[in-house]
Amino acid sequence: MWNFKQAYINGSFVPVLGNEVVEILNPATEQPIGTVTLGNRDDARRAIAAAQHAQQTLGRTTKTERIDMLKRLQAAVLVRSEAIRDATIDEYGGPIARAQWVSQYASQCFANAAQTLETYDLTRRAGEATIIMEPVGVAGLIAPWNSAAGTICSKLASALAAGCASVIKPSELSPLQTQVVAEALHDAGLPAGVFNILLGRGADVGDEISTSPGIAKISFTGSTATGKLIARAGVETMKRVSLALTGKSASIVLDDADLNTTIPLALSSAFMNNGQACIAGTRLLVPRSRLDQVIEHVKNIVTTMRVGDPRDPLTVVGPLVNRAQYDRVQHFIRRGHEQGATLIVGGEGRPAGLEKGYFVKPTVFSDVGNDMEIAREEIFGPVLSIFAYDNEDDAVRIANDSIYGLQAYVFSSRPERAARLASELEAGTVLINRISPELLAPFGGVKQSGIGREFGVFGLEAFLEAKCIASA
């Protein structure tokens, strides 16, 4: 049992002033694995003050100095990659393959930010003026639990590359991942206050960060509902706000796609991270003429999908993060039935043989209408809805009939046709015949899936402000 009572402020682990204790259960066993004492508003104020102090020096660093810091962070996080992988599995049941990927990504994003900064012009000309890209100031980085290590590191990497000191608030549901990452980052030996990390409730520590005049920029990843609160809270002090929010991604299978390669990929996208991924392709759109064939394929694969111990490399779907998430997903499966969708595989309750743990049966519905709750809301669990479309226009209409627009997938054997369709989809990213991301390209949502972009040049610029100097 671990027992964390510290925040990382001004270069040291210090006892938190808050006194709320939260117990964390291993979601695969429902056994307690540790407790954390959450920080409060006073802790947040201490962290903001430390970052403000560090900003004075960090804001004047050169590109070379920042690249050096990023490389030190990359190396320090890489050393702890096994611990990051294990924390990801223990704390929210991420299957081992996914947890392994996250643990590598956590260090790789510092290398990516260094590479981006290397070739980026911080000073340039526009007409007779000189434009200087300056750090926007102290950044508040607020992260969810579903890929905590990766989100903490990628936000920190972009902020630091731009020369912004930060106050990082991961989810109160991810203390173990946070602790392991904080220890790794500390080992890099960066100047005190350049980054500060504390856990706390959103309504308390999160709100303090979102309203503080000491914070110039918020980079938030989480739900659309919380993103709206943060945007409203930040406007009073005119904070720059980047929001990476909820998704409800469509996967469109065109009639020329090879189903033997397409369906396994589409299912991997739907059930990635146990369905707890903003980019999960949870709406599968297939030509009506191939619907029966697709359903048969899907049924064959999902029926044999291994659900269980996330440490087992054969496991495809591990447990959901906690009881609340389990109940939420059960609710949506029930609503799918009630609203008239046809259950293809899965359904309510735990999978056979798994009496403990927040395990859900991978569930697939067909005959889903776009007005049903399972079609409109992000379920954040392993639940897939299949829609039949009549022609390409119909597919685009169904895909775009959502308030969200984070990511979409197109599967086709004709690249030009797929690219044409991609241009019509309302999504920040469209992946064609692949589900792996491009980490140097911009990532973010349109519509209510967010504001702004992360990664690469766009992620760097989200922490920069253009200053114009023109003289007679």
CB of 200 to ligand NAD, least distance (A): 7
Other Cβ atoms less than 10 A from the Cβ of 52: the count is: 18
Give 69 or 157: the residue with its C-beta nearer to ligand NAD: 157
Q: What single-letter amino acid sits at 323?
A: R
Name the nearest CA neighbour of 12 among 56, 50, 63. 50
CB 462 within 8 A of CB 219: yes
Q: Which is nearer to ligand NAD, 159 or 345 (CB)?
A: 159
In the complex, minimum distance from the CB of residue 429 to ligand NAD, in angstroms, rounded to a whole number:
10
**Cβ nearer to ligand NAD, comparing 345 with 406:** 406
Output the smallest distance, CB 288 to ligand NAD, in A: 30
Q: Which is nearer to ligand NAD, 308 or 459 (CB)?
A: 459
DSSP character at residue 311: T
CA–CA dist 278, 407 (Å, integer): 9
CB of 19 to ligand NAD, least distance (A): 18
What gap in Å lies between CA 271 and CA 283, rounded to an integer? 11
Going by their DSSP bridges, the two strands 363-366 and 342-345 should be labelled as: antiparallel
The amino acid that residue 153 corresponds to is: C
Which one, 198 or 302, has the nearer CB to ligand NAD?
A: 198
CB 115 → ligand NAD: shortest distance, Å?
A: 21
- Please tell me the distance from the alpha carbon of residue 151 to that of residue 115, in angstroms, as a whole number: 18
Pick 325 or 412: Cβ nearer ligand NAD: 325
Task: Give me the residues that bind ligand NAD (CB under 6 A), please.
Answer: 142-146, 169-172, 202-203, 206-207, 210, 221-223, 226, 229-230, 244-247, 278, 378, 380, 406, 445, 450
Work out how close the CB of 278 gets to ligand NAD at its nearest, in angstroms, rounded to a whole number.
3
For tokens 């991301």, the residue is 437
* Chain position whose Cβ is nearest to ligand NAD: 202
Measured from the Cβ of residue 87, the count of other Cβ atoms closer than 10 Å reads 27
**Residue 370 dihedral angles phi and psi, to the nearest 5°:** -70, -5
